[in-house]
Chain A
Amino acid sequence: DTGVSQNPRHKITKRGQNVTFRCDPISEHNRLYWYRQTLGQGPEFLTYFQNEAQLEKSRLLSDRFSAERPKGSFSTLEIQRTEQGDSAMYLCASSGDTGSEQYFGPGTRLTVT
């Protein structure tokens, strides 16, 4: 399977704990995006990378959130001191250099109790 993959698929954590998600993009794609989706809503942009450079961050990405793509391949999204409001589906997408045709992974469902 050469699509976008994300791990874990589900994560349940207690408030105040840190969590980390991983995304592996389509191998030839230079751009990688993170989105967050809550129930009944469309995905909301969080941040994106061109190779290893983080080019844009949304205001939604508070200082408790950090994303990395150290070698320009896979990416991690870490949330520190999780809050109940962080409960959502975290989606990763990738695309070529033009930024068109973004392909999404299956998402990581985070539940903060």
Chain B
Amino acid sequence: GESVGLHLPTLSVQEGDNSIINCAYSNSASDYFIWYKQESGKGPQFIIDIRSNMDKRQGQRVTVLLNKTVKHLSLQIAATQPGDSAVYFCAENPYYNKLIFGAGTRLAVHP
């Protein structure tokens, strides 16, 4: 079946370093992907999205890379800050209706 998964369940980084969170997806027909950030007790917060006609998209301190050949997504966070500590999910939206999420990666930022 369709699934979106993550390579690393927990990522620990030092404040100021760059973070890279990876994600694999299985539906080769998917053409729209989103990264969400979820803090404890809160709903997922939209970070950045990318469509399959792009391989890179940049936001404020974040970059999403899409490799359709190997069905892989990554989220890069520059100059990671303590406020970036959260669980990060990639989600697939193959038909532009329901989102298909993976289990998430916890990012822990240490001073």
Q: Which residues of A contact B (CB under 8 A)?
A: 4, 6, 31, 33, 35, 40-45, 48, 55-56, 58, 91, 93, 98-107
List chain B residues, Cβ under 8 A from A40: 103-104
**B49 and A100 within 8 A (CB):** yes
List chain B residues, Cβ under 8 A from A93: 43, 99
The answer to whether the Cβ of B63 comes within 8 Å of any Cβ in the partner chain is no
Q: Taking each of B91, B96, B97, which has the highest tally of chain A beta carbons within 10 Å of its own beta carbon?
A: B97
**A41 and B103 within 8 A (CB):** yes
**A42 and B103 within 8 A (CB):** yes
The answer to whether the Cβ of B25 comes within 8 Å of any Cβ in the partner chain is no
B7: min CB distance to chain A, Å: 15
* SS class, residues of chain B in contact with chain A: loop
List chain B residues, Cβ under 8 A from A33: 98-99
Q: How far is the CA of A103 from the CA of B103 in the complex (A)?
A: 19
CB interface residues, B 84-99, toward A, < 8 Å: 89, 91, 93, 95-99
Which of the residues B4, B42, B46, B103 comes within 8 Å of A102, measured between beta carbons? B46
Which of the residues A6, A48, A107 comes within 8 Å of B97, measured between beta carbons? A48
| Contact size range, B | 20 to 34
CB interface residues, B 40-95, toward A, < 8 Å: 41-46, 49, 89, 91, 93, 95
Identity of the chain A residue whose Cβ is nearest the Cβ of B36 in the assembled complex: A104
Q: Taking each of A6, A33, A99, A105, which has the highest tally of chain B beta carbons within 10 Å of its own beta carbon?
A: A99
List chain A residues, Cβ under 8 A from B42: 106-107
List chain A residues, Cβ under 8 A from B36: 104
A99: min CB distance to chain B, Å: 4
Once A42-B101, A45-B100 are accepted as A-B contacts, the answer to whether A101 and B49 lie under 8 Å apart by CB is yes
